[in-house]
Amino acid sequence: MSEAKRRSVGRPAGATKASGGHSQSLVRGLTLLEYLSASPLGLALSELAEMADLAPSTTHRLLQALQSQGFVTQESEQGLWRIDVKTFRIGNSFLEARDVVAKSRPFLRRLTAETGETANLGIRDGATAVFLAQNESPQMMRMITRLGSRAPLHASGVGKALLAWMSEEERSALLEGGYELARVTENTLYQTDSLQAEMAAIRAQGFACDREEHAIGLHCVAACIFDEHRTPLAAISVSGPMARIPEERLLVLGALVRQIADEITQQLGGQLPR
């Protein structure tokens, strides 16, 4: 494909000089950063060029510009490109700027102290839950989620909690607008009717349960934190192996997670749903 044609069809859609006055090079560079941030092991130049639908020469030029500013680095032995320290600092500043993250950390530590399990905090980004904070269990066998990693809304405790408390209109628009109910494990709720029934149950009890729906052998329970408009702002969860969180304990932990989520909501000046 010619460079001229690549300019017209390259991702993301609308990434041209005519799209809102944005610089094409800036948009392309940020797109490369997005791909690299989702690939912690690094990507080869050819992989990046294909993913971004750019010529290798253009991709290399953009990477060199990003490297000169400390946003990416190239591992010399295999030639793989990775995000560098400046990208991390910018991402970290986002976390610090979000009061919900900073103010939730003591509560996550408390959850781990009271349950012995890993506590997480995540927010919704489109059709996924993104994990922004974590307090690890001291147990040898524990659940660990890489910060910044994502999980489908319908197939994770945090995701299901956020999905359940969306407005009916917003949730319907998402589920009917091409959202794929992928079957992540054999226990994932992947049919609309069963998922809608689950949403009603979550709202009734105030917390969501993930029973091996995201990973076999793991149980999770999550509850929402709300803003001043009673809209889901984030969700916290406790997760661990089934051996330590059987069904009966899952429900007990659910009540605790909901209580602590409500406390965070109050501290942030939010309002609980009626």
CATH class of 98-267: alpha beta
Report, as an integer, the average pLDDT of 91-100: 63
Q: Is the pLDDT of residue 202 over 60?
A: yes
b/e map of 181-190 (b: 16 or more CB within 10 Å)?
A: beebbeebbb
Q: What is the pTM of this model?
A: 0.67
b/e map of 214-234 (b: 16 or more CB within 10 Å)?
A: bbeebbbbbbbbbeeebebbb
pLDDT at 11: 42
pLDDT at 85: 77
Report, as an integer, the average pLDDT of 47-75: 91
Taking alpha carbons only, the member of 28, 84, 102 closest to residue 59 is: 28
pLDDT band of residue 179 (cuts 50, 70, 90) is confident
Taking alpha carbons only, the member of 196, 195, 241, 194 closest to residue 220 is: 241
Look at the block and give the residue holding tokens 């974590």: 134
b/e map of 126-152 (b: 16 or more CB within 10 Å)?
A: ebbbbbbbbbebeeeebbebeeeebbb
Question: What's the mean per-residue pLDDT of the chain?
Answer: 85
Q: Is the pLDDT of residue 55 over 50?
A: yes
Q: Is the pLDDT of residue 95 over 60?
A: no
Is the distance from CB of 10 to CB of 52 less than 8 angstroms?
Answer: yes
Q: Is the pLDDT of residue 89 over 80?
A: no
pLDDT band of residue 232 (cuts 50, 70, 90) is very high
The share of the chain scoring above pLDDT 70, in percent, equals 89
Sorted by where each begins, the domain ranges of the chain are 3-89, 98-267
pLDDT digits (tens, 9 = 90+) for 121-167: 999 988 889 999 999 988 877 777 788 888 999 999 999 999 999 98
pLDDT at 45: 92
Q: Is the pLDDT of residue 18 over 90?
A: no
Q: What is the CATH number of domain 3-89?
A: 1.10.10.10
Q: Is the pLDDT of residue 38 over 90?
A: no
pLDDT band of residue 12 (cuts 50, 70, 90) is very low
Q: Is the pLDDT of residue 219 over 80?
A: yes
Look at the block and give the residue holding tokens 């010399």: 76
b/e map of 5-23 (b: 16 or more CB within 10 Å)?
A: eebeebeeeebeeeeeeee
pLDDT band of residue 93 (cuts 50, 70, 90) is low
